[in-house]
Structure 1
Amino acid sequence: MRYLEIAVPEGRRRAVLDVLEDEGIEYVASDETSGRARTTVVRFPVPIRAVEPILDRLSEAGIDDARVVVIDAETVVSSEFDDLLEQYSHGGASGVRTSRQVLRTKADELTPAFSIYVVMLLISAVVATAGLLSDSPAVVVGSMVIAPLLGPALAANVGIVTGDDELRSTGFRYQVVGVAVVISASIGLALLARLAGLEPAGIDIVVVAELQERVSPNLFSLAVALGAGIAGILSLTRGFSEAIVGVMIAAALIPPSAAVGITTAWGMYGAAVGAFVLVVVNVLSINAAALLTLWVAGYRPQGLFEVSPTRTATFTYATIFGVGLLVLAAPLAGITLVEFQTTQLNSTAEEAVDEVLEDPQYDGLEAESVEVRLDDAYPLRSIDRVVVTVRGLDPGPEPELGERVHERVDANADGSPIVEVRYVVAEERGNERADRLTVTRTVDGS
């Protein structure tokens, strides 16, 4: 329930009371004197679902200059209120949808002061960069908890559907600034780590597991951001845990932004582009999902042919988000396809190696591992080679082995991948076996 207190300017008392009486609302009205003029203060309890329609009716009646205070009410004991509750619950349980007016206030409250916002993001960027460089999932998760990204992500879209231009522009400005701050801080910290020798220069830094999944994103990356946007709006409108949802939104933005900074500091600009594409896709996904969820939840202009100042803005931003996602989905789809082909080729190669090694002439050999490797052309990588490692007491290079494996792989794969056979020589030491040498032979089929 909610308890509303409306300070009505002089001469508007009757218009307000007519609306309340028409709705069947119990009220208490008293004439009071403020610092400026004599006003009428009207107080009354209403179900949550009634707040928005009643305030809309008051607005339609020309009561736009009234001061309205909405307060949470624990309980109301009144037979007339029970009838009102039944009316607005449509025969079912009482509704919990937050009114547009309260929604706007909550979104604004979740957006911190700019200075605090920047400081918290700088701390989050430092933690995320350290976590990615050290390949520590726990530290990366810690960076997500710190980041105050929930408010800006929700404020922008609440501002769109409620026609609050200031809230909308603040939300989008905070999002852009937030991403820029994290990327800039990550570049600085990664450069310091590289120059200090904490992470040696010249290595392929993206082999770190926490980085690799963010510099070559696939279509499944969209699921996290879309889910975060939907959950964020539901937390705002239905009272779910906002802290947990805030971590989810940060998970879609903080680590990829830090990955952009790290790969830029390492001069791996292709990987940086891949991570930045993921950041942009996640920003668009969060906003698109939030806007769509608000629309489905009923926060939209009513009436198909109604001329509303928010209708054009809602459709415009929805179109921008949708087109942006469609354009960026193309490279993500290409990466997803390569990953699917890699998995398929890996399975094919394993079967081919097992079949070849069944030949009696290779009785002394056993398959150690089969790995499909991609090239370093981030973010749109392609299959580079199949690396087969075999082990034996005295294998020696077997020219026919590589050729036969290549034949089998080539017959079941698109294109003609290079097959690299590595021989791990082992020696017996009592009951133990120890590796002592590795010999490599490469077959490309040319």
Structure 2
Amino acid sequence: METFIIILILFLILAKLAWETFLTLLNMAEVRKRSASPSQQILEVMDRDTYQKSTQYTIAKEKLGLVSGFYDTAILLLVLFSGALPWFYAFFSIPGADFYVLYESAYIITAIIIMSVFGIPLDYYARFNLEERFGFNKSTIKLWITDKLKGLVIGLILGILIISLIILFISRLGEYWWIWAFMALFAFQVVMMILYPMIILPWFNKLTPLEDNELKTRLMDLAQRTGFKARSIQVMDGSKRSGHSNAFFTGIGRFRRIVLFDTLIEQMTHDELEAVLAHEIGHYKKGHVPKMLALSAGMSLAGLWVLNLLLNAPFFIQAFGFDPDHAGPGPALLLFGLLSGLFTFWLSPLFSMLSRKHEYESDRFAREHTGSEPMSQALLKLSEKNLSNLTPHPLYSGFYYSHPTLFERIKALQSG
């Protein structure tokens, strides 16, 4: 059985890498083919120089993605099959220790932090080389390091809390611990949806109420007539890190907020900003947040059930060098975290399809309340300013894209 598990995991790791590589090469070939003779439709969105820059940006990101894919795969294989995980676990296995939950949690958190260090060089390159080269990076090394340290602190606090809770449930609640763990984690997720925009997000970015009187009046009027009760519309200082622009909806219930990047406000007219806000309100009015929350809950419940099966299958951790007779739940939890993505990766097209459906619905909502032209112009401007890939390969966008392509959205908006 141990041999079967090793073969299965190796197959899944290599299959994922092969498929990612195939899709990336396919997309790069499509972009290069289209860039040689851009259509009139493309040139109506971007002038020729901007379009060439966008294709160069896309190719550069895809090349980095290829390197990252092979690099991450090599690290994962090394971690899984070098014996490093069971060797490291020995430092946290203290016979007769009174702090069993703490030691198991510390093992998982420490291992994750060490493995995350391997990703820092590529992250640095992406920020201060690739994004810098195309004029998007506004961050400094000091700010980048500060963000990393803040993320580490938050990750430690939340990670220890969640993992300790799961291990405590495993050790105290018997066969059906995973059901109780699901209920606790779901409640935690809902609480975090409320606390994130209030506590965590302001730790990284400054959020201020929208001050432009004319724009604020228009946007608040839109919120009123669409039945979206908003205390304020927040502006986020995204420009201190990046030239990319965006808007997003966060929180639930009376804690919900709509956040606009300051770069977005600088780039768009009031009509276009009103359309963008209408789109974000559309997500709320169409019930997309509870739908995605329910989907996430279902995935979490299924994952915890699988984890319970693995905890009762000693050959699983034995396949990776652990001694099941002297191991707590820590090794199985860590391995589950490292390997679950090999399975959920293949569900990406389904999640992407659902997300694109939601985007179409929100676009229609925006069209109903602000007209098709402002939303179309906002999308065109977003694509130009962000150097979006206008010509992804259909197989690539179908697998990965959470949003329809620009021309798909424009066509849907204008089809009535």
TM superposition score category, shorter chain reference: under 0.3
Higher relative contact order at CA 8 Å, sep ≥6: structure 1 or structure 2?
A: 2
Higher helix share: 2
TM score, norm. by length of structure 2: 0.22
**TM-score normalised over the length of structure 1:** 0.21
